[in-house]
Amino acid sequence: MRTCSARPDGTAQIRGGDEAPCLHGCVQFYQQPQGVLVVANVSGLPQDGGPGFCALHIHEGGSCTGDNFSGTGSHYNPTGAPHPNHAGDLPPLLSCRGRAHLSVLTDRFSVRDVIGRSVVIHSGPDDFHSQPSGNSGNKIACGVIRPT
């Protein structure tokens, strides 16, 4: 497996919207023989005394424009699976004083599959049950996945 010092195959620069203007970071995608290593580093997550979890998803759309990042569309779900089995469903971010790091290996997609799509951070935790998207709150940050 590659190390984090290797050049990623895809990167999304994350920026917050009106609800979280200070939120920023990077999500990197490393193609591995076993799947894709997704590494997220963000800061400026809301610290409103809530549960400290923010949902992280890959969305179909490749634009971070529009009201509430409407250009991102729905979760990336090429097989039509129920939530939380969408290819774009990722583990939540756990805020520690507004910062979060996540590293996860997934075999639900290849880097090639998600280039041009978006990574979205939501205002709340994913309940891993509600359809179609886990009742995870508003889209508060977004980044488009670009090849590197």
Domains of the chain: 12-147 (2.60.40.200)
Confidence of residue 1 (pLDDT cuts 50, 70, 90): very low
Query: Is the CB of residue 132 less than 8 Å from the CB of residue 10?
Result: no
* pLDDT tens-digit map of 62-73: 999 998 999 999
pTM of the model: 0.93
CA distance 58 to 35: 15
Residue closest to 137 by CA, chosen among 99, 71, 98, 92: 92
Q: Is the peptide bond before 147 cis (omega within 30 degrees of 0)?
A: no
